[in-house]
Amino acid sequence: MAFDIDVFINEFVSQLKNIYGNRLLFTGLQGSYARGEATADSDIDFVVIIKDLTFEDLKDYKKLADISSYKEKLCGFIAGDKELRNWSKFDLFQLIFDTKAVCGSLSDIVEKPSSDDVRTFVKINSENLYHGAVHSYLYSRTRHDDLSAFYKNVFYVLQGIYYLKSGKYFPTKQLLAGALENKDCEIFEICLNRRDITGKNTVEVEQLYEELINWSRNNIKIYT
């Protein structure tokens, strides 16, 4: 039988409610399933916020996840409400905008990040890409895999950049592609076709590193 994400989530949330009761403040779906872009290889990125989360609560969650028919696909973000309220605001950008609520509302727990928070998100993630790409180029023995992972993260950085430019969040790759300008179009094209990196030769791989490092460097300068 084909996998039905809605059926799975509804059953899983029902089980969570039985365990945590009113302490289950929020559940939601992130990532490719939330965006309608999932493939057979996609993970189920699930968000769960529990009031006064304890380690015993995590044990209970693990027991439930371990008996799930799709335990190999299940991952995501789980936290207590107090931890989330004290979380770095820039790091909440993706969580708040990319999460499709199943029950509850994140806005009842945390405020939407400000423009300054999103600028910080873009800057820090661009710094991470820059550092990761430079380190990988110099020292890695798994360059093709590294580049594929780096270019996957380009999507998230671009979501932040174009949120700042337009005041609008572009949840899917298709919608984001229609808003991109200039060099961002080229870097996003590589992101979309990152599975092809496996077959690139040495010269092409070097070019991909150069593209990513230069693009990240420019973002760091702009969003400082």
Asked if 121 and 205 sit in the same domain, the reply is: yes
Asked if 94 and 131 sit in the same domain, the reply is: no
Asked if 134 and 151 sit in the same domain, the reply is: yes
- Average pLDDT in the 5-19 region? 93
Residue 35 pLDDT level (bands cut at 50, 70, 90): confident
Q: What is the per-residue pLDDT across 103-132, written as a single tens digit (0 to 9) for each?
A: 999 999 999 999 999 999 999 999 999 999
- Average pLDDT in the 37-58 region? 93
Asked if 96 and 130 sit in the same domain, the reply is: no
Asked if 31 and 71 sit in the same domain, the reply is: yes
Asked if 140 and 208 sit in the same domain, the reply is: yes
Which of the listed residues 108, 142, 170 is the one where a domain comes to its end?
108
The domain tally of the chain equals 2
Q: What is the per-residue pLDDT across 124-172, written as a single tens digit (0 to 9) for each?
A: 999 999 999 999 999 999 999 999 999 999 999 999 999 999 999 999 9
Asked if 190 and 153 sit in the same domain, the reply is: yes
32/38 Cα distance (integer angstroms): 5
Which of the listed residues 82, 108, 134 is the one where a domain comes to its end?
108
Asked if 80 and 153 sit in the same domain, the reply is: no
Nearest-CA neighbor of 20 among 118, 126, 129, 104?
Answer: 104
Residue 100 has pLDDT above 70, yes or no: yes
**Triad 209, 214, 217: Cα angle to 5°:** 125
Residue 44 near residue 8, CB atoms below 8 Å? yes
Task: Identify the domain containing residue 137 by its residue range.
Answer: 115-222
pLDDT confidence of residue 2: 64
- Average pLDDT in the 55-61 region? 97
Question: Whole-model pTM above 0.85?
Answer: yes
In one-letter notation, the amino acid at residue 146 is D
Which of the listed residues 84, 108, 132 is the one where a domain comes to its end?
108
Asked if 75 and 126 sit in the same domain, the reply is: no
Residue 71 pLDDT level (bands cut at 50, 70, 90): confident
- Average pLDDT in the 87-116 region? 95
Q: CATH no. for residue 98?
A: 3.30.460.10
Asked if 24 and 75 sit in the same domain, the reply is: yes
Phi-psi region at 46: left, alpha or beta (left = phi > 0; alpha = psi -120 to 50): beta
Asked if 49 and 123 sit in the same domain, the reply is: no
Asked if 65 and 121 sit in the same domain, the reply is: no
HEC assignment per residue over the chain: CCCCHHHHHHHHHHHHHHHHHHHEEEEEEEHHHHHCCCCCCCCEEEEEEECCCCHHHHHHHHHHHHCCCCCCCEEEEEEEHHHHHCCCHHHHHHHHHHCEEEECCHHHCCCCCCHHHHHHHHHHHHHHHHHHHHHHHHHCCCHHHHHHHHHHHHHHHHHHHHHHHHCCCCCCHHHHHCCCCCHHHHHHHHHHCHHHHHHCCHHHHHHHHHHHHHHHHHHHHHCC
